[in-house]
A and B are shown apart, each in its own frame.
Chain A
Amino acid sequence: MKKIEEFLPHLSICLLLCLAVFTVLDGYNPFKQWLTSTTSKVFIAICVVVGIATAILLIARQRRRKRRPRQEPLPPTDQNQ
């Protein structure tokens, strides 16, 4: 699980970089169907799933951190001693 948690943000970045590339290419040559072919639609669906999964894991981690009990503060040091 921890491995997935570490890997997903990287995968999100990579997929979205690819999507940015396809968006630019589509602007130049929409007839190549960079964003409208069946493969592209599957790709976009994967982007969506990975994006949502990354967001959910991030939220879960934040909640875990908040829920974790604070450590006991150290007793104050006596400067005179």
Chain B
Amino acid sequence: MDEKKTRRELREAQAAPPAPARRKKRKSVAELILQDILLTGLILVIFALFHHVIPYVKYQMTAKQEGGIDTTPIRPSVTETAAPETGRPQETEALPADTEQPDPDVTPEPTPEPTPDPMDWRTKFADHFTEEVVVTDHSYSSPNIAIDIQKYVSDDPAPSTYFVADIYVADLACFQTYWAGGSFHKWMEEDPIQCARNAGAILAINGDYANSQDYGFLVRNGELYMSEQTIYDICVLYYDGTMVTYGADEYKVQDVLDREPYQVWKFGPALLDENGQPRESFNATGPISDVNPRTGLGYYEPGHYCFVVVDGRQGGYSAGMRIGRFAQLFADLGCTAAYNLDGGRSSVMMFQNSFFNHPYLNGRNAGDILLIREIGGEEG
């Protein structure tokens, strides 16, 4: 009997864990999950502090002290390009062989016909410019600028309302960009209407929000800010007025710099291929490709551009556009190059210091804008 008792005690002693002096209460699964969620929240807050708050405060303080970051002018001597002289003498091209034989007795004086200056946009687009400034509720024309904004409504495939601003400039200096706050400061934002007003813009659209990043390839108004290759498509407006879009792996930074860029935007994707047709695939992630309000920049030829803004996220008025449909729109307009800029709530078009489109939730602050303005302080 004693032996039996001893065995039972031994078994019980083995089965039961040794009782600690002060036994800690085990947490339930719910408590553990709650604890993990709280810890996750704490980590997210710490991350936000380092990712957003501290850099923002730091850059704001630096901005106050230094007044912006250092830049390198692409063309050191050029600030605002002077209007090209019209009809200046050009080098003659070899004339094609005439079918009629010239009279051997008469040696005609060579009278070379002046070749039109490819940069003489004032003459080339003379039909669009006016001697005086003429402003209507949807157009503007002057000796330097011609803008005509049209509103379109499409039901293919979803209802969408978009605005196309057809732009002719006599001088590339009329086409500028403007940083929120007046100069490049990271994270600096400003009301887009205020930006347009400060910049003296006649027409403006939101930009690519480039000041939210601290790397990339960035040139604005001929000033080089950054020169790093990125994974994004870029859009380059050269000093000769040509605009070219490049896929992420289709360019070298130095090659672009050698051609003297006037503006380099980095958002994308590039919308058209070299034949002016929508690209087969776009360098954009799913949500960016979806139906959204959109802003884009189109190019026809040097001196002739267009701004397009698509309203969206607004019920039966306008849903927005997928990226493929947006590219098709530029192809239908006859553009040879087109580039997608920041969209969504950022998509705004401003004409004469007020919204021309109907921005989603009245838009939001912008980091930068693209604008058309008179040069030399003239404004209509």
A interface residue numbers (CB < 8 A to B): 10-11, 13-15, 17-18, 21-22, 27-34, 37, 39-40, 42-43, 71, 74-75, 77, 81
Contacts and interface: CB of A to CB of B under 8 A. Distances in A.
Interface range on chain B: under 10, 10 to 19, 20 to 34, or 35 or more? 20 to 34
Nearest to A36: B215
Given A39-B47, A74-B11, A31 B212 contact: yes
Contacts of B342: 31
Nearest to B50: A39
B285 A27 contact: yes
Given A13-B40, A33-B213, 11 more contacts: A14-B39, A14-B40, A14-B43, A18-B44, A27-B285, A31-B209, A31-B212, A37-B51, A39-B50, A43-B47, A77-B7
Contacts of A30: 285, 288
Interface of B: 3-4, 7, 10-11, 14, 32, 35-36, 39-40, 43-44, 47, 50-51, 209, 212-214, 267, 285-288, 342
A28 B288 CA distance: 7
Nearest to B11: A74
Nearest to A71: B14
13 contacts: A10-B32, A14-B40, A17-B36, A22-B47, A28-B287, A28-B288, A31-B267, A34-B51, A39-B47, A74-B11, A74-B14, A77-B7, A81-B4
B39 A40 contact: no
A10 B39 contact: yes
Given A10-B39, A33-B213, A77-B7, A27 B286 contact: yes
A5 to B, nearest CB: 15
Nearest to B48: A39
Nearest to B44: A18
A10 B36 contact: yes
A75 B7 CA distance: 9
B35 A10 contact: yes
Contacts of A15: 43
A2 to B, nearest CB: 12
Contacts of A22: 47
Contacts of A43: 47
A31 B50 contact: no
B51 A39 contact: yes
A15 to B, nearest CB: 6
